[in-house]
Every structure is written in C-alpha cells, then in structure tokens.
Structure 1
Amino acid sequence: MTLVAPAIADYEASADLAALLVRTTQDDALSVSAETLRLSCKCAHCTRARFDGHFPDRFPGIAITEIGDLGYGLNISFSDGHARGIYPKPYLLSLAGC
C-alpha cells in the first residue's frame, strides 16, 4: 500500500472573503480563516515585525482580497493592504490541519 500525501487540487476565497477554501486531491474540503493566514505570514516584513515585537496578536475583520497561484504556493493579498505573503501549498495544508 502506497501512502500519498494530500495536495491542493483547487482553492477559492469564501463568499464573505473571511476564509480560504481548499479542496485536496483526496477530495477533502478544508478551510483556513483569513485571520489565521494573515497571522501565519512568513514574509520578511512580517518576520521582522515579529522579531521587533511589532506584529499584531489579531487581525479582526481581515479579508482576502486576491489570490495568485505561483504553482508551488499561493500569494494571498489582504484587506489591510498586505500582499507580500507567499504560502507554500504544503504549509497551507498544515494550517488547515491536514
């Protein structure tokens, strides 16, 4: 028996833009809130803000405004103007609890 790790087959923002909806190659339907995504950004700007103690603890009301597929990951833009985060697809699956 060969075990195959799930991969992202499709994705979209939820109707209210408050979550990323993901469908895996194993037909699992997963969801990651926009706030979780924003808090989990690992771009240089967010990493530095965490290091300096200036990164917020919450992003209430944050929304997904755009999703760009880079092949290996998604570039997700948010309603606070942040658009630097690239989320590798395995990282997105881990955020969704997969």
Structure 2
Amino acid sequence: MTLVAPTLADYEASADLATLLVRTTEGDALSVSAETLRLSCKCAHCTRARFDGRFPDGFPGIAIVEIGDLGYGLNISFSDGHNRGIYPTPYLLSLAGR
C-alpha cells in the first residue's frame, strides 16, 4: 500500500484577509489564521529573530496580502511587509490541524 500525502486543490484568503482557506485533493476544507501563519514562518529572517529574542509574541490585525503558488507549497505575503514565508504543503496542513 502506498500512502500519498494530500496536496492543495485550491486556496484563497478569506474576505477579511485574516484567514487562509485551503481545500485538499482529498476534499478537506481547512483554515489557518494569518496570525498563526506569520508566527509560524520559518524563513531565515524569522528564525534569526527568534534566536536573538527579537521575534514578537503576536501579530494582532495581520492580514494576508498575497499568496503565491510554488507547486510544493505557498509563499504568503503579509500586511507588515513580510513576504519571505514559504509554507510547504505538509507544514501548511499541519498548521491547519491536518
């Protein structure tokens, strides 16, 4: 038996830009808040900021301003100007509780 990880069939930001809505190829409808995504960014800049103790505890009011499809995941840009966040599909689905 071969197990295949679900992939993204569709994605969009909610009307208020506060949530990423995703649908998997298995038909699951999932959501992740923009704040959770921003807090979960693993880019070098955010990783260094965490290491140095400069990473914020929260991003109240953060919004998703752009979503780029990379094939293996999504590049999400936020209203604070941060646009380095790359969220591979398995990581994104784990953030959504899948």
Whole-angstrom CA distance in 2 between matches of 1:42 and 1:4? 24
Matches of 2:89 and 2:42, distance apart in 1: 13
CA offsets 1:1-59 (integer angstroms, 9 cap, x no match): 76543221110000100010000111110000000000000000000000000000000
Please list the CA deviations of residues 48-93 of structure 1 after superposition, one character each: whole Å capped at 9, or x if unmatched: 0000000000000000000011111111000000001111011100
2-structure distance, mates of 1:3, 1:30? 21
Tell me the C-alpha RMSD between the 2 structures. Answer: 1.1
Question: What is residue 13 of structure 1 aligned with on the other side?
Answer: 13
Counterpart mapping for 1:1-98 below 5 A: 3-98=3-98
What TM-score, normalized by structure 1, do the two folds share? 0.95
Superposition TM-score, scaled by structure 2 size: 0.95
Paired with 1:91 and 1:70, the residues of 2 have a C-alpha distance of: 14
- 1:2 and 1:54 map into 2 onto residues whose CA distance is 43
State the one-letter code of the partner of 1:5: A
Cα distance in 2 for partners of 1:26, 1:73 equals: 16
* Equivalent pairs, count: 98
Amino acid in the other structure paired with 1:70: L
What are the ranges of 5 or more consecutive residues in structure 2 without an aligned counterpart?
A: none
